[in-house]
Structure 1
Amino acid sequence: MSTSRFTPEHIAGCWRDALALWDVQVRLSPPEPHVPFRPDADHANEPLAYIDLTKRQVFVHFELLESMGAADSLMAVLAHEIGHHARFPHTLGWDAELRVMEQRLLPGLKQSLTNLFYDLQVNEFVGRTHPEDLCRVYRGFQRTQGGGEVSPMFFFYLAIYEELWGREPGDLVPRAAMAPMEERFPGLRAEARMFAQTFYALPHPRLQFLYFCATFIRYLGKLDETTYTLPLGDDVSLPDVDDWDSALQSGGRWEDALEEARAKGWLDEAHDTKAPDALDHINRVTQHLPGTGRGKLRRALVARHYRRLVDQHLLKLPSAPSKPEPYLRTTPEAWEYGDDPSAIDWTLTVLTQGHLAAVSPLRRELEADVPPASELGVPSVELYLDTSGSMPNPDAQLNTMTLAAQVLSASALRKQAKVRGIIYSHTDPKLSPWMYDEETAREFLLHYIGGGTMFPFDVLGTLSKERPDALRVIISDSDFLSNVATDEHMKMLVEATRRSRLLVALLALPDEHRARQALAPALKERNFRLVVVKWLSDFGPAAAALSQALLEK
């Protein structure tokens, strides 16, 4: 720190007062000085304060706070950060739920408004007793930004605080911008007053958020371009994949609030309140997230969506019960006085002991018949998945062929079999190693190539020589019939069939008769099967039925 004003004693005292303001005990370390993310960067663009949840540590940019002329506001700044941790949002699951609803109402929004939403709630509480401390921060922030033009959204945001804390217009908002903003947005000041009177009186946080979004949309401009910087913004951590996945399933919890918002006139035709397709919703909530992690997050959420679809078709049963039922009887022994009377096998005693049965009974205990740890006879499974352009990218839209492959894969893996995937299209097929768990297989089977279709007969031939006992399933459509039309390719298919335990063609076709004509040489082989699916929507159930026929018996 370049100043001695923030002594350890002073910081500790402000920290105690901030905790006392919320009357909470939090598992956070006392504040430490912020270390610039980039030493050569302008410190005005660094965060003023934030919490590192990994280290459970509060950081404060003391130099920036002093340069803003808000050194006396340290306690209010710390109370603001504690408020995020203790109540608003309190959990990242709630933050994810709001971000999901936000993208439903404001699709394409570049930067989330949730931090601003929480700031309105935190600052209302802190400002009950320390409004001037917070005002000092917002005035100082504008000075450090060079006093340039204020965005409509930030202007409206500051106007709300003026109304909330009983400040004169121009105390926080730039006076020079008041008339132009009122001309550009007629009724802005009246709307800020109405917001301050309505927002904090609403009985439920879901209603608060819907009212917040419906009000602020007027001041955002183009959603895909809107960005903003707040002096106490970007201090809430991002949710993790579990938070996002749970939030994407939370739509039903919002229906009553959405209905009430529509009845109150907050939401109209301009607000899209329909729940989007699941994969479209995943794309919406991840496309604006910073960094390269967005791709990994999206893929993880897509994988979980397909897992739920798979589980709709397959019932996951353990291979062996944890407490097997005892039902096999042991070798008979003479029952003696003091033994358990229920252990007597009276039928066997009468048949063997005759008239002495009553005085010389025999006993047999029950013992558990424990099934084997893995189910015998379940073959290794190779899945050849067509990902040509005739089917959509499974990340963006439901691909029922991909779903069929996932169903077959999960069914085999739940039988303790192993699975190998071959993703193909027109060139360079993707080949996985043998996979032993569902998550790995699910991740691999979400790959997509696109373009034209050319079945990899050379790969089929090579793998059938390596593993002649495998069960092979080809998932495709009418393009496969075109691929196998040449004599050479048909010969390779027949040879691979003879080297497989079973080779199944699971094809989406409107006409089974044509397929039987095209595949006549292969159908003569006892190890070849043709399964035709007429409707793409039937691929999932067809794969479930096929897996039961191939792996359950």
Structure 2
Amino acid sequence: MSPRGFTPEHIAACWRDALALWDIHVQLTPPEPHVPFLPGADHANEPLAYIDLAKRQVFVHFELLASMGAADSLTAVLAHEIGHHARFPHTLGWDAELRVQEQRLIPGLKQSLTNLFYDLQVNEVVGRTHAEQLAEVYRGFQRARPGDVSPLFFFYLAIYEELWGLAAGTLAPAAQEAEMERQFPYVRTQARMFAQTFYALPTPRLQFLYFCAMFIRYVGEPQKLEYCLPLGGDVSLPDVDDLDAAVHGSAGWDDALEDAKERGWLSGGRSGDGTDALDTIDRVTRHLPGTDSGKLRHALVSRHYRRLVDQHIVKLPSLPSRPEPYLRTLPEAWEYGDDPSTIDWTLTVLSQGPLAAVAPLRRELEADLPIPSELGVPSVEIYLDTSGSMPSPEHQLNAMTLAAQVLSASAIRKKATVKGIIYSHDNPHVSPWMYDEETARDFLLHYIGGGTWFPFPLLETLSRERPDAMRVIISDSDFLANVSQGNAMDLLVEATRRSRALVAFLALPDEHGVRKILAPVLRERRFRLVVVRWLSDFGPAAAALSQALLEN
């Protein structure tokens, strides 16, 4: 059945004409009808056309195109989609670069403007021969979504009026002209200037900086911006690799930024200079769908700290990531309320037979701990203070977290195991013994905040479990206040005697009064005190400490 009057012959002819417009061979299959994402949904909210890059398939919402009154614009719609693929490909890596830059230029932007940017590039070429068909799509889009258009979309449509030589009000609603001129004086002049300037710029980077500089005036409140385009539904979201490369690999933008500032487009905080990587990561990930749990942000932050760690310690040749060695516990009956991921379905089916579905068995994972002497170097326990006196490492560089990561990476690269203890006031987080650098790095990015109380009973317990381990306490003056209370000093001395070494790695302005407070434990030959006066020195000091502790 042909979709709303579009015969296979007509679709094939439009497809040939669209391909001929670009005069290039593309590996795309002929268009197929769009299947609604949500059954029964209002098709006005569905995309008009897009490309599924995984299948190399073009999809067109024929019913929406017909209901918009733009059925005769099929060739232009197809040519638009081919243009995205053939002449102006928005790869995920390129899209990540643009998202990073726009968040630096327009902080807090809720919805990316990259779709607008890509469409402006493609429609200039398609509009040379099919301007009226594209114009009919934009008019039909407004008929399908009645009501006033946003200032952003008004300016966008006004640019096309200037570009295609259309009379004012042909695309941008004439009824809003006076109000737009009142709110944004010279909006028509700016649209004309944009059409004359944007397409004459020599590089896409410079085009995007000019685009942001002009469109920011019409964004309003960036954190509330939401818009919809008739031909803007085919840009996939970049993944962690793309965004990571964009955040840390922006050297190609330096010349473009300097050029933009010389041209007077950028000024003040919109230049993007000196933007901290963690702040950029927060901006870029804050409004992306599916990041409520912070997994994407956490992954990008983890990679950022890995780079910082590698600045302080020698990076060994990369080896295949070693999985954490775990053993399965004895099977037990799974009960309602237990974690479904603990069900061992293979064992259940083999042992329970037909009752497998109603009587599943569960098995937990527990670490298979090697004997310390098998590792060549001692195990390392790291007690990291994450109280409110230091910032959350995901939003601002935390020097103590960096120090812990340097120590951890140094130990693991020497084939040691590491246990992390993240503490603040109550309920410290304790990791299993970790063998993999990435696992340890992710754990050490945890943050609690609040007051400070060192877990002396936990220290005493762990020192009994693994007496051969080295232990490093990373804190500040709060540790001195903690150790002066109750029997804390006695527990610290006992743990020191049972450890290979115990180091208090403290951020203090000076050593005045420290040795008096720590006098009982300073007499122990296995105790070491390391004072760091400046937080910026924590990373190098941790690298030096790692070398001293772990060198055979």
- Name the TM-score, length of structure 1 as normaliser: 0.86
**1:319 touches 1:415 (CA, 8 Å); kept in 2?**
no
1:504 counterpart SS class:
strand
Q: Residue 423 of structure 1 aligns to which amino acid in structure 2?
A: I
CA offsets 1:328-371 (integer angstroms, 9 cap, x no match): xxxxxxxxxxxxxxxxxxxxxxxxxxxxxxxxxxxxxxxxxxxx
- Distance in 2 (CA, whole Å) between partners of 1:448 and 1:221 is 35
Q: Indicate whether 1:46 and 2:46 are aligned.
A: yes
- Distance in 1 (CA, whole Å) between partners of 2:54 and 2:3 is 28
Distance 1:83 1:73, change over 3 A: same
Which residue is equivalent to 1:457? 456
1:128 counterpart SS class:
helix
**2:380 touches 2:416 (CA, 8 Å); kept in 1?**
yes
Q: Indicate whether 1:68 and 2:68 are aligned.
A: yes
CA offsets 1:231-257 (integer angstroms, 9 cap, x no match): 112321111111111111233322222
1:409 counterpart SS class:
helix
Residue 52 of structure 1, CA deviation? 2.8
Q: State how 1:383-394 maps to structure 2 within 5 Å.
A: 383-394=382-393
Q: State how 1:155-166 maps to structure 2 within 5 Å.
A: 155-166=154-165
- Distance in 2 (CA, whole Å) between partners of 1:375 and 1:17 is 71
Which residue is equivalent to 1:427? 426
Q: State how 1:191-210 maps to structure 2 within 5 Å.
A: 191-210=190-209
- Distance in 1 (CA, whole Å) between partners of 2:317 and 2:206 is 44
Q: State how 1:174-189 maps to structure 2 within 5 Å.
A: 174-189=173-188
Which residue is equivalent to 1:400? 399
Q: Indicate whether 1:446 and 2:454 are aligned.
A: no
1:162 counterpart SS class:
helix
Distance 1:514 1:433, change over 3 A: same
Q: Residue 439 of structure 2 aligns to which amino acid in structure 1?
A: T
Give the stretch that moved more between structures: 206-215 or 72-81. 72-81
Q: State how 1:51-200 maps to structure 2 within 5 Å.
A: 51-146=51-146, 148-200=147-199
Q: Residue 240 of structure 1 aligns to which amino acid in structure 2?
A: D
Q: State how 1:459-474 maps to structure 2 within 5 Å.
A: 459-474=458-473
Which residue is equivalent to 1:275? 274
- Distance in 2 (CA, whole Å) between partners of 1:490 and 1:173 is 75
Give the stretch that moved more between structures: 523-532 or 81-90. 81-90
**1:84 touches 1:236 (CA, 8 Å); kept in 2?**
no
Give the stretch that moved more between structures: 500-509 or 512-521. 512-521
Distance 1:501 1:26, change over 3 A: farther
Residue 522 of structure 1, CA deviation? 1.6
Identity %: 76
CA offsets 1:128-147 (integer angstroms, 9 cap, x no match): 1211221111010000002x
Give the stretch that moved more between structures: 270-279 or 457-466. 270-279
Distance 1:520 1:202, change over 3 A: same
Residue 431 of structure 1, CA deviation? 0.9
Q: Residue 462 of structure 1 aligns to which amino acid in structure 2?
A: T
Q: CA RMSD in A?
A: 2.1
Which residue is equivalent to 1:343? none
Residue 426 of structure 1, CA deviation? 0.3
Distance 1:203 1:466, change over 3 A: same
- Distance in 2 (CA, whole Å) between partners of 1:204 and 1:197 is 15
Greater Rg, structure 1 or structure 2?
1
Aligned length: 499
**1:375 touches 1:416 (CA, 8 Å); kept in 2?**
no
Structure 1 unaligned spans of 5+: 321-373
Q: Residue 288 of structure 2 aligns to which amino acid in structure 1?
A: L
Which residue is equivalent to 2:296? 297
**1:106 touches 1:272 (CA, 8 Å); kept in 2?**
no
Residue 177 of structure 1, CA deviation? 2.0
Q: State how 1:473-492 maps to structure 2 within 5 Å.
A: 473-492=472-491
Q: State how 1:308-323 maps to structure 2 within 5 Å.
A: 308-318=307-317
- Distance in 2 (CA, whole Å) between partners of 1:91 and 1:319 is 28
Q: Residue 122 of structure 2 aligns to which amino acid in structure 1?
A: V
- Distance in 2 (CA, whole Å) between partners of 1:470 and 1:53 is 52
**1:286 touches 1:294 (CA, 8 Å); kept in 2?**
no
Q: Residue 53 of structure 2 aligns to which amino acid in structure 1?
A: L
Residue 445 of structure 1, CA deviation? 0.4
Q: Indicate whether 1:22 and 2:22 are aligned.
A: yes
Distance 1:232 1:490, change over 3 A: same
**1:15 touches 1:30 (CA, 8 Å); kept in 2?**
yes
Distance 1:71 1:542, change over 3 A: same
Residue 72 of structure 1, CA deviation? 2.1
- Distance in 2 (CA, whole Å) between partners of 1:470 and 1:425 is 22
Residue 259 of structure 1, CA deviation? 2.2
- Distance in 2 (CA, whole Å) between partners of 1:280 and 1:298 is 11
- Distance in 2 (CA, whole Å) between partners of 1:258 and 1:142 is 36
Residue 536 of structure 1, CA deviation? 0.9
- Distance in 2 (CA, whole Å) between partners of 1:511 and 1:119 is 60
1:130 counterpart SS class:
helix
Distance 1:263 1:517, change over 3 A: same
- Distance in 2 (CA, whole Å) between partners of 1:172 and 1:452 is 60
CA offsets 1:244-286 (integer angstroms, 9 cap, x no match): 1111123332222222222222223473443311211111111
- Distance in 2 (CA, whole Å) between partners of 1:376 and 1:143 is 71
**1:51 touches 1:58 (CA, 8 Å); kept in 2?**
yes
Structure 2 unaligned spans of 5+: 320-372
Q: Residue 160 of structure 1 aligns to which amino acid in structure 2?
A: I
Which residue is equivalent to 1:365? none
**1:287 touches 1:294 (CA, 8 Å); kept in 2?**
no
2:410 counterpart SS class:
helix
Q: Residue 312 of structure 1 aligns to which amino acid in structure 2?
A: Q
- Distance in 1 (CA, whole Å) between partners of 2:272 and 2:488 is 52
- Distance in 1 (CA, whole Å) between partners of 2:437 and 2:68 is 54
- Distance in 1 (CA, whole Å) between partners of 2:3 and 2:185 is 45
- Distance in 2 (CA, whole Å) between partners of 1:426 and 1:2 is 68
**1:104 touches 1:275 (CA, 8 Å); kept in 2?**
no
**1:493 touches 1:522 (CA, 8 Å); kept in 2?**
yes
Which residue is equivalent to 1:353? none
Distance 1:216 1:4, change over 3 A: closer
**2:2 touches 2:8 (CA, 8 Å); kept in 1?**
no
CA offsets 1:126-183 (integer angstroms, 9 cap, x no match): 111211221111010000002x111111111111111111112222122222233233
1:200 counterpart SS class:
helix
2:294 counterpart SS class:
helix
Residue 4 of structure 1, CA deviation? 4.8
2:66 counterpart SS class:
helix
Residue 513 of structure 1, CA deviation? 4.2
Give the stretch that moved more between structures: 27-36 or 2-11. 2-11
2:387 counterpart SS class:
coil
Q: Residue 186 of structure 1 aligns to which amino acid in structure 2?
A: P
Distance 1:495 1:19, change over 3 A: farther
Distance 1:257 1:513, change over 3 A: same
